[in-house]
Structure 1
Amino acid sequence: MSLTIPFDNSYARLPDTFFARQAPVPVRAPHLVAFNEELAQILRVTPGEVEDMAQTFAGNTLPEGAEPIAQLYSGHQFGTYNPQLGDGRAVLLGETVGTDGVRRDIQLKGSGQTPFSRRGDGRAWLGPVLREYVVSEAMHALGIPTTRALAAVETGEIVLREGPMPGAVLTRVAQSHLRVGTFQVFAGRRQVDNLKKLTEYAIARHYPQADGPMGLLRAVRDAQAQLISQWMSVGFIHGVMNTDNSSIAGETIDYGPCAFMDSYHPNTVYSSIDRMGRYAYSNQPDIAVWNLAQLATSLIQQVEDPESAVEEATEIVHAMPGLIQQHWLTRFRAKIGLTTEDEGDEALITDLLTRMAHNNADFTNTFRALGRDNARDQFLTPQAFDEWAKGWTERLTREQNPQAVMNAANPAFIPRNHRVEQMIQAAVQGDYEPFHRLNTVLARPYEDQPEAADLTHPPTENEVVHATFCGT
């Protein structure tokens, strides 16, 4: 049996100015590392022989119906506008409509140079490929909208980064790869006709209920507000929230120097390229609003009455901080066992977070321990927790089943940075057992798995990951 993918492509039917037709660049000796059978079933992908899948997911052979393209976009990178970016190391093979009726892209990441490579080699090394595979699948299991991983392949070739690294290709799946930057490139070029076509396409694909450009803006705002609150609730830090990494579909996309917090602090930064802390944990809501404002600026160009559009867009964007805060409060209420609302809840949550920051408390383990009655053990000074717990205990008397609420809202397992790095180092040496173990455990993050208790432990002093890096 050979690998088959039931492609039903739509983006490739748009004008050629939206992309460059580009086949993947073949590699020397592909080896299949992982294949996501559960996701393949949703996509209606029929697996083939291992060697056949290795050749396809490395880009050496094109499955029937594929129409490979590299997408065009621009974007603000750390606040500075770059007028042309695009897929510099990725090729969109095509789209499928899954068993759930959802249309999704299937993209090869690390598949070689494209017209948008900007002097890059177009490749990825094994570490970032495995990191994105593990973290994106973990995010899916946590219930957070995200791109997903269908396959990972070693290429048998060397990629030069800080030194020689084993090359790899990730097969990434997304509801689309439309970004804020996709709209920005046509707005920046004053190509209003293309901007209109893109807007119509985005609405038809993602938000058919949306009414025109401002309806699209409102729908993207709502999806992004939910997404950011979900990131915050699990201590996730994206690391590179540039507008070209901001998905119109409201999914988490482009896992580069991403990380999950160990000890809680609102100003936590891991990304080695975020030297000013622009994308620190606590800044993520504000950056999401900033990115939405850039989308609004782009969409307004196509509106016949720009003055009224500016007024409406301003209203939509200005409402976003309140929406994010509303979703944040709902999620953090659940994290401390609350389903009802009280005007003192926000202060109660904020007080806990402040005490956690001052006491080096582990973010994930502290919240998980709230449902186990041993959260005070996470604090350098347990009395700091005891003082907070007096008001919390009184508040819980008005709840029916707070422990169940907390257990459902607080994962026991996240892809901890030191475990991800250990997994990568093992894989570079040819040992994929830690990679497969992480995927297995992280697929059930809200369940107690005593046999995997070691994966809940914070890093020791020698294991702390101080910085994470992009794959480029």
Structure 2
Amino acid sequence: MTVHFPFQNSYSALPDSFFARVAPTPVAAPRLIKLNRPLAVQLGLEPDMLETPEGAAILAGKTVPAGADPIAMAYAGHQFGQFVPQLGDGRAILLGEVIDRDGIRRDIQLKGSGPTPFSRRGDGRAALGPVLREYIVSEAMYALGIPTTRSLAAVVTGEHVIRETALPGAVLTRIASSHIRVGTFQFFAVRRDTDAIRRLADHVIIRHYPELRDVQRPYQALLAGVVARQADLVARWLLVGFIHGVMNTDNSSISGETIDYGPCAFMDAYNPSQVFSSIDEMGRYAYANQPRIALWNLTRLAECLLPLFSDEQEKAVAEAQDILGAFSDQFSAAYQAGLRKKVGLFTERDGDEALIQDLLDAMAKNQADFTLTFRKLGDAAVDDSADARAQFIEPAAFDEWAGRWRTRIALEPQTAAERQSAMHAVNPMFVPRNHRVEAVIQAAVNDDNYAPFEELVKVLAKPFDDQPDYAAYADPPLPDQRVLRTFCGT
């Protein structure tokens, strides 16, 4: 019996200008180190077969399965504000698409599978560390309830890749609703190929926004749909302390999923200006800048769609500006609603926003741990002696705020236990802290030891549970454990 993928490929049926047909480059000795068995089942695949040598060969790109139509997708993008007219999949190959058990079309892509026509002198390979990082963080984001690409498998190749030093090579099998980006539209816009833009927009509507197929102005509605999803997505990022690190337009998904986990990180101590990415020297993609950058990226998408709005430039621009103008309110509504839940407020009253901002300001001033402050606040809802205050350099700052907070929550009818339960359901105990991720990577790269990786993935699969046996995974790093810089995998 062979490994079977029930491929139904729609993107590779588009015109040849949308991609380059290219097969993965075979590797020497593929070895499966992790298979996401529940995800495999959800995709209609056979996990037992994927764990065979034949399955490992497919997941490493050594063998192309029947029914696949391997392509590298074309796209452009603004990278740190500078436009590059041709980027494309330089180290990723889309094997094809499957329909999962919920009837949703999913891409199956190999990341690190060899050079493509878009590689720009790169080797097209991935090192083990970035593959493990993306597996850990993408699956953690999924468990946190945040729209995201996912990781089906990680495979070591039996070969080394050269970065600063020789490192073990690996391939990640990434699953996405699609890999269509703002930069995909930009690729055709810079070439003034309006027919291709229309073809791409129609494809996106059918695939991601089918409810818009018969509306009067589908392309305006498409932009509005992407704006709404991005506003909600970035609000969700901020609510868990996530920093994407490289919010270029080629990393901005049209489907509204988090995509491309390069120099990403979760904050420890709350700092709105926090940057981890080693390549973000100016702080363009700092934690608090992410909503502004999302709108900037959406504006670039709007520019691409203008020819589909109207033949009259002035009218098209006015329509786009009106749609983009909704972003700030949509983001604010999602973010403030999420913050109210994090502090245990079930209703909205005047003064709530200021009360929550006062907490954030005190957290920033006192270097309070973002994740633990909110988690312990849930405990403080039932026990005044709970140690939320221990997160603050000056505990009196928390005490002053907590007095006002307790006065506010007393105005609502929920019991203390109900409030704690609701708060624990949105405030995770466990996130993939940088020092934990780095320790896992070092164990794998240096010692071929994947036990720490397996344990971390297991803990992060249940981020809202207390998990007493793994309580240490919730701890912030000690001073000598802090990871201040994260790196892109290229």
Please, what TM-score do these two structures have when normalized by structure 1?
Answer: 0.99
Residue pair 1:149, 1:172 contacting (<8 A) in 2 also: yes
Q: Does 1:26 align with 2:26?
A: yes
What is the rounded CA distance, in whole Å, between the counterparts of 1:260 and 1:185 in structure 2?
A: 31
Aligned to 1:397, which of 389, 407, 410?
Answer: 410
Aligned to 2:467, which of 444, 449, 453?
Answer: 449
Deviation at 1:316, TM superposition (A): 1.0
Question: Which residue of the partner structure matches residue 471 of structure 1?
Answer: 489
Residue pair 2:59, 2:155 contacting (<8 A) in 1 also: yes
Kindly provide the amino acid, as one letter, of the partner of residue 480 in structure 2. N
Residue pair 2:268, 2:370 contacting (<8 A) in 1 also: yes
Kindly provide the amino acid, as one letter, of the partner of residue 183 in structure 2. G
Residue pair 1:110, 1:169 contacting (<8 A) in 2 also: yes
Aligned to 2:392, which of 379, 383, 393?
Answer: 379
Deviation at 1:103, TM superposition (A): 0.4
Deviation at 1:321, TM superposition (A): 1.2
Residue pair 2:140, 2:432 contacting (<8 A) in 1 also: yes
What is the rounded CA distance, in whole Å, between the counterparts of 1:342 and 1:120 in structure 2?
A: 55
Question: Which residue of the partner structure matches residue 326 of structure 2?
Answer: 319
Q: Does 1:258 align with 2:258?
A: no
Aligned to 1:58, which of 53, 60, 63?
Answer: 60
Kindly provide the amino acid, as one letter, of the partner of residue 95 in structure 1. E
* Secondary structure of 2:404's aligned partner: helix
* Secondary structure of 2:480's aligned partner: coil
* Secondary structure of 2:42's aligned partner: helix
Please report the RMSD computed on the Cα atoms of aligned residues, expressed in angstroms: 0.8
**Structure 1: stretches of 5+ with no match in the other structure:** none
What is the rounded CA distance, in whole Å, between the counterparts of 2:298 and 2:342 in structure 1?
A: 28
Alignment of 1:57-76 (within 5 A): 57-76=59-78
Alignment of 1:238-387 (within 5 A): 238-305=244-311, 306-373=313-380, 374-387=387-400
* Secondary structure of 1:96's aligned partner: strand
Deviations 1:150-206 (A, max 9, x none): 000000111111111100000000000000000011011000111110000000000
Kindly provide the amino acid, as one letter, of the partner of residue 355 in structure 1. A
Residue pair 1:396, 1:402 contacting (<8 A) in 2 also: no
Aligned to 1:184, which of 183, 186, 192?
Answer: 186
What is the rounded CA distance, in whole Å, between the counterparts of 1:312 and 1:390 in structure 2?
A: 47
Q: Does 1:438 align with 2:456?
A: yes
Question: Which residue of the partner structure matches residue 112 of structure 1?
Answer: 114
Question: Which residue of the partner structure matches residue 202 of structure 1?
Answer: 204
With 204-213 and 426-435 compared, the bigger mean Cα shift is at 204-213
Residue pair 1:414, 1:445 contacting (<8 A) in 2 also: yes
What is the rounded CA distance, in whole Å, between the counterparts of 1:248 and 1:264 in structure 2?
A: 29
Residue pair 2:4, 2:45 contacting (<8 A) in 1 also: yes
Deviation at 1:386, TM superposition (A): 0.3
Kindly provide the amino acid, as one letter, of the partner of residue 281 in structure 1. Y
Deviation at 1:357, TM superposition (A): 0.7
Question: Which residue of the partner structure matches residue 135 of structure 1?
Answer: 137
Deviations 1:102-159 (A, max 9, x none): 1010000000000000011100000000000010000000000000000000001111
What is the rounded CA distance, in whole Å, between the counterparts of 1:221 and 1:427 in structure 2?
A: 39
Kindly provide the amino acid, as one letter, of the partner of residue 15 in structure 1. P
Deviations 1:236-281 (A, max 9, x none): 0000000000000000000000000000000000000000000000
Q: Does 1:388 align with 2:401?
A: yes
Kindly provide the amino acid, as one letter, of the partner of residue 428 in structure 2. P
* Secondary structure of 1:209's aligned partner: helix
Deviations 1:329-381 (A, max 9, x none): 00010000012001211111111011001111000000000011221011111
Deviation at 1:54, TM superposition (A): 1.1
Residue pair 2:307, 2:316 contacting (<8 A) in 1 also: no
What is the rounded CA distance, in whole Å, between the counterparts of 2:105 and 2:400 in structure 1?
A: 51
Identity across the alignment (%): 60
What is the rounded CA distance, in whole Å, between the counterparts of 1:442 and 1:303 in structure 2?
A: 44
Deviation at 1:301, TM superposition (A): 2.1
What is the rounded CA distance, in whole Å, between the counterparts of 1:464 and 1:71 in structure 2?
A: 37
What is the rounded CA distance, in whole Å, between the counterparts of 2:444 and 2:111 in structure 1?
A: 19
**Structure 2: stretches of 5+ with no match in the other structure:** 381-386
